[in-house]
């Protein structure tokens, strides 16, 4: 299965400019190349993880596959507030709860649970506020401990969250109060040849509520038609293979871009591991 998307979400890394072109010919011309055969590498990754200690450890941990920040129901009131959130520019006007070091519990729908250290309110706030520019800011006036539901590699889970009160908003901004479990060492290494057709995927953006689709950030360059993602499904894993489509000829900038790509699955993801064919590791979460 192959899915592509045309909405650019931003430049992840700017590598500068280069004088040489992407190929000979007119700048608006393009070349059509056959899609790479991603199957052999995807099957190799799936076999390495199947029944491995790494897979067992992964399924015992807490690995979110959704954004740990959940916005107020009426976000955003204006472009300035949206810019403030996107640029992580916040201002604290009030007190944050002082909680002693303690543990908190993640609970899955099947009754399984896991105890992890609770992230303090100050640390959670600092995960939001990473900018000190004079631009637009969102004002936090207080916080209290609550909970929310979050998609994880083991399905939806109830997790503790700090509920931050935002000036001008009726409902809170929620920030999950846990850090993910440490990922296990992968049983297979990344592809060895950096010149191959596969590209490393970015983070998981979202897994659908019914588990039948997943959205990831897929990388591509400035001289192609965008990314594509192939999917290999097994009983224990879903292996995603990202690569670039087409090639535009002529001078271009050397940039690493990213687009959201949504892949449809033949059955719900469930507790299957979402793997990146390029790295041989789970596609990283958003936390």
Segments in the chain forming alpha helices (H): 39-49, 53-60, 79-86, 121-128
Same domain, 73 and 170: yes
- Last residue in a domain, options 155, 176, 197: 176
* In a domain? residue 287: no
Same domain, 165 and 188: no
Reported as a single tens digit per residue, the pLDDT across 186-240 is 999 999 765 468 999 988 888 888 889 999 999 887 777 789 999 999 999 999 9
Reported as a single tens digit per residue, the pLDDT across 72-90 is 999 999 999 999 999 999 9
CATH at residue 152: 2.40.128
Per the rule left: phi > 0, alpha: psi between -120 and 50, beta: everything else, 79 is alpha
Reported as a single tens digit per residue, the pLDDT across 237-263 is 999 999 988 776 667 776 778 889 999
Reported as a single tens digit per residue, the pLDDT across 7-27 is 333 333 332 222 222 333 333
Would you tell me how many other CB atoms lie within 10 Å of the CB of residue 175? Answer: 22
What is the token pair recorded at 215?
Answer: 């959205």
Q: Provide the CA 166 distance to its chain's centre, in angstroms.
A: 25
How high is the pLDDT of residue 177?
97
* In a domain? residue 223: yes
* In a domain? residue 282: no
Average pLDDT, the chain: 85
Beta bridge partners of 227: 244
Range of the domain at 153: 69-176
Residues 206-216, buried b or exposed e (16+ Cβ, 10 A)? bbeeebebbbb
Separation CA 161–CA 177 (nearest Å): 5
- 18 vs 273 pLDDT, higher one: 273
Same domain, 166 and 191: no
Same domain, 106 and 170: yes
- Last residue in a domain, options 128, 160, 176: 176
Radius of gyration of the chain (CA): 21
For the chain, report the end-to-end CA distance as a whole number of angstroms: 28
Same domain, 34 and 169: no
Helix, strand, coil share (%) of the chain residues, nearest 5: 10, 40, 45
* In a domain? residue 97: yes
* In a domain? residue 41: yes
Same domain, 47 and 77: no
How high is the pLDDT of residue 35?
81
* In a domain? residue 286: no
Same domain, 159 and 209: no
Same domain, 57 and 196: yes
Same domain, 56 and 6: yes
Would you tell me how many other CB atoms lie within 10 Å of the CB of residue 192? Answer: 6
CB 91 within 8 A of CB 141: no
* In a domain? residue 284: no
Within 8 A by CB and 6+ apart from 34, the residues are: none
- Last residue in a domain, options 176, 193, 224: 176
Tally of domains within the chain: 2
Would you tell me how many other CB atoms lie within 10 Å of the CB of residue 181? Answer: 18
Separation CA 117–CA 109 (nearest Å): 21
What is the token pair recorded at 209?
Answer: 């509520």
Same domain, 163 and 193: no
Same domain, 127 and 262: no
Separation CA 222–CA 224 (nearest Å): 6
Separation CA 113–CA 110 (nearest Å): 9
How high is the pLDDT of residue 26?
30
Phi, psi for 263 (deg, rounded to 5) = -110, 140
pLDDT beyond 80 at 116: yes
Confidence of residue 32 (pLDDT cuts 50, 70, 90): low
Separation CA 217–CA 240 (nearest Å): 11
- 65 vs 164 pLDDT, higher one: 164
* In a domain? residue 140: yes
Average pLDDT over residues 23-43: 64
Same domain, 261 and 189: yes
């Amino acid at each position: 299965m192959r899915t592509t998307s045309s909405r650019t979400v931003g430049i992840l890394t700017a590598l500068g400019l280069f004088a040489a072109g992407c190929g000979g010919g007119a700048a608006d011309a393009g070349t059509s190349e056959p899609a790479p055969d991603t199957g052999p590498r995807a099957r190799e990754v799936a076999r390495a993880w199947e029944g491995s200690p790494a897979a067992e450890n992964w399924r015992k941990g807490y690995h979110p596959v959704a954004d740990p920040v959940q916005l107020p129901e009426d976000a955003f009131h204006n472009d300035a507030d949206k810019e403030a959130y996107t640029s992580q520019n916040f201002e604290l006007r009030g007190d944050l709860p002082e909680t002693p070091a303690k543990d908190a519990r993640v609970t899955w729908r099947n009754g399984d649970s896991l105890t992890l250290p609770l992230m303090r309110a100050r640390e959670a706030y600092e995960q939001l506020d990473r900018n000190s520019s004079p631009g637009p800011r969102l004002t936090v006036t207080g916080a209290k401990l609550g909970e929310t539901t979050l998609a994880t590699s083991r399905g939806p889970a109830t997790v503790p969250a700090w509920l931050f009160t935002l000036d001008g908003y009726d409902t809170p901004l929620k920030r999950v109060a846990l850090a993910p479990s440490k990922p296990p060492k992968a049983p297979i290494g990344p592809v060895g040849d950096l010149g191959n057709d596969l590209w490393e995927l970015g983070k998981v953006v979202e897994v659908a509520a019914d588990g039948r689709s997943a959205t990831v950030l897929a990388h591509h360059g400035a001289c192609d038609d965008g990314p594509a993602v192939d999917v290999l499904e097994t009983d224990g894993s879903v292996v995603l293979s990202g690569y670039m489509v087409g090639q535009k000829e002529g001078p271009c900038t050397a940039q690493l871009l990213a687009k959201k790509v949504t892949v449809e699955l033949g059955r719900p993801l469930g507790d299957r591991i979402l793997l990146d064919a390029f790295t041989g590791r789970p596609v990283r979460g958003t936390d």
